[in-house]
Chain A
Amino acid sequence: MNKDLKLNIGITLWTLTSKEIRRFMRIWVQTLVPPAVTMTLYFVIFGSLIGPRIGEMDGFDYVQFMIPGLIMMSVITGSYANVVSSFYSVKFQKSIEELLISPMPNWVILLGFILGGVTRGILVGIIVFIVSLFFYPEFQIANIGLTITVLLLTSVLFALMGFINAVFADSFDDISVIPTFVLTPLIYLGGVFYSINILPDFWRSISMANPMLYVVNTFREGMLGISDVSISFSLSMIVLFIFLFSSFSLYLLHKGIGIRE
């Protein structure tokens, strides 16, 4: 009977991750094309048409200044959206039972979904970067190491947030409330389109409480070499929140909240 009762964790993780990647690739028209289209519009309107009238922002051409912000915006939305919609529909269709009945440990289930979200986030980031090169071909990345690090950490962070959102979601409304009413406003006000240095003191102080500001600016530091915030502080906060959110997700899985009756 005990033929080989050892579970090959690597295979289970790869199975789930590749299933997640297959899912968003299958519906690429909904997942990969929209950011390319939206960002092209941003580049045309704000970069090429309005940008020259704005002039410089923190010593960079306006288009150039916008590029890191728009990439971050796409990465955040992409990784969050992937996990929240995938995990919610797995719950909704009951195919979560396929995972729960299997011998996969909870951390593999979590990691599989996160890696799926991260892959989509990064892929979308690369697509937007390629689009941006049409509008600013001479773009040079200032610090590749930092750029990649922030790209990875950000997509992990927001994939985790998408996961937690999906665990608590009871309807399709619940999975769009947070992206629409929380994420998007915070991103728009988080320094994607402007440096907070142009704000009056009062609004600048308020902006400092927006977590997106740190993410966007750390990425801008990587790509352009400028930032409105302290990089070491931002990076440690991102890592801290990744730790907190993943512990919380594992706790939710362990307790079966929103997953097991």
Chain B
Amino acid sequence: MSEFALQIDNLKKTYKGGTIALKGISLKVKQGDFYALLGPNGAGKSSTIGIIGTLVTKTSGQVKIFDIDTDKDVATAKLLLGVVSQEINFSQFEKVIDIVTTQAGFYGIKKSLAKPKVETMLRRLGLWDKRNDQARTLSGGYKRRLMIAKALIHEPKLLILDEPTAGVDIELRREMWDFLKEINANGTTIILTTHYLEEAEQLCKNIGIIDHGEIVVDTSMKDLLRKLDVQGFVLDLEEPLDNEPKIDGYNLRLDDPLTLVTSVNKDKSINKLFNELNKIGIKVKSMRNESNRLEELFIETIKNKHE
């Protein structure tokens, strides 16, 4: 058994119109990993996934799925791979159950064997009651579920999801998270792209950031979060202020008369800030973390690379 579920080596992609989508990315994802691939719009995430699933032809480079080179034995590689594309890609006029059963057939699964599998999968994803509905009548969230059911029907060992929770409501998103965690716990390696950094933080062990067709960060989530040396705090004040106070060593900003925002370096104590504020008669009612730390880091990283 191979150590890596996915190995990408020096992958390049130039589209017909001349757009260079990938400038030679290399990436390794360990078996059993839950890997987040992040990056701004147009960074090359979907292009990478498209190439892995052979929906997009590569310009050069190598892709291996569980050590199987997709140029050498694509059929075996594909048996191990499941992909949930960013865009809906099923026939709108077919019934939900037919779509999933047909997909099983495309993987060579006999109908008698596929039937119970399809039922389990549809039940698991809450699609069973809608099994006889035409796919086009499903709501967006259910269409996503159908995409996932389709990708999992042959029990792939590597599952890649391209923005599976885009446009999905909070409840369903949490459900999907639980579902993905469970699949991962059962041994499926998962790679996921998302624009919700909270999602990556919640789910993923390792993380890669891609920008302008290059991998700019490839590390573990823990290390990445540790690197965050600045933490933002939002302080709700008891009494309104006209101007932000000036305190040495701290960067303070008044969002509105009752809200003070600050970022504190890891090596500085937040206690000291409270003391200083106290001294000048500013009372803090409550305090919370500012936005998502990962988000800040993400924006920092991308910015730094292009300055």
- A residues adjacent to B (C-beta < 8 A): 1, 5, 7-9, 11-12, 14-16, 19, 22, 26, 89-90, 93-105, 256, 260-261
Contact = CB atoms under 8 A, between A and B. Distances in A.
Most interface-central of B15, B89, B98 (chain A CB within 10 A): B89
Given A97-B89, A101-B78, A1 B106 contact: no
A102 B89 contact: no
Chain B facing A: main interface SS:
loop
Nearest 6 pairs of A and B residues by beta carbon: A15-B105, A8-B108, A102-B106, A103-B75, A94-B89, A103-B78
A98 B151 CA distance: 9
Given A7-B79, A256-B57, A260-B54, A95 B106 contact: no
B108 A261 contact: no
A1 B90 contact: no
10 contacts: A5-B79, A12-B105, A12-B106, A12-B108, A94-B89, A98-B150, A101-B83, A102-B78, A103-B74, A260-B56
Nearest to A257: B57
A15 B106 contact: yes
B75 A101 contact: no
A104 B54 CA distance: 12
B108 A100 contact: no
Most interface-central of A15, A19, A104, A256 (chain B CB within 10 A): A15
Interface of B: 1, 15-16, 50, 53-57, 66, 74-76, 78-81, 83, 85, 87-93, 98, 102-103, 105-110, 150, 157
B25 to A, nearest CB: 17
A104 B76 CA distance: 10
Given A100-B53, A260-B54, A261-B15, A11 B91 contact: no
A8 to B, nearest CB: 4
A233 B142 CA distance: 57
Nearest to B74: A103
Contacts of B150: 98
A16 B105 CA distance: 8
Contacts of A26: 93
Contacts of B87: 94
A100 B106 contact: no
Contact of B55 (A89, A101, A103): A101
Contacts of B105: 11-12, 14-16, 19
Given A11-B108, A261-B15, A97 B85 contact: yes
Given A7-B79, A98-B102, 8 more contacts: A7-B75, A8-B108, A9-B108, A101-B78, A101-B83, A102-B106, A103-B108, A260-B55
A94 B85 CA distance: 10
B106 A261 contact: no
Contact of A100 (B15, B55, B80): B55
Contacts of B78: 101-103
Contacts of A19: 102, 105
Given A93-B89, A100-B53, A260-B55, A11 B76 contact: no
Most interface-central of A22, A89, A94, A99 (chain B CB within 10 A): A94
B285 to A, nearest CB: 53
Given A100-B55, A102-B78, A103-B76, A94 B88 contact: yes
B157 A98 contact: no
A168 B231 CA distance: 55
A145 B98 CA distance: 38
Contacts of A7: 75, 79, 107-108
Nearest to B136: A93
Contacts of B79: 5, 7, 103
B56 A103 contact: no
A7 B55 CA distance: 19
B107 A102 contact: yes
Contacts of B106: 12, 15-16, 98-99, 102-104
Contacts of B107: 7, 12, 102-103
A203 to B, nearest CB: 45
A93 B66 CA distance: 31
Nearest to B108: A8
Nearest to A26: B93
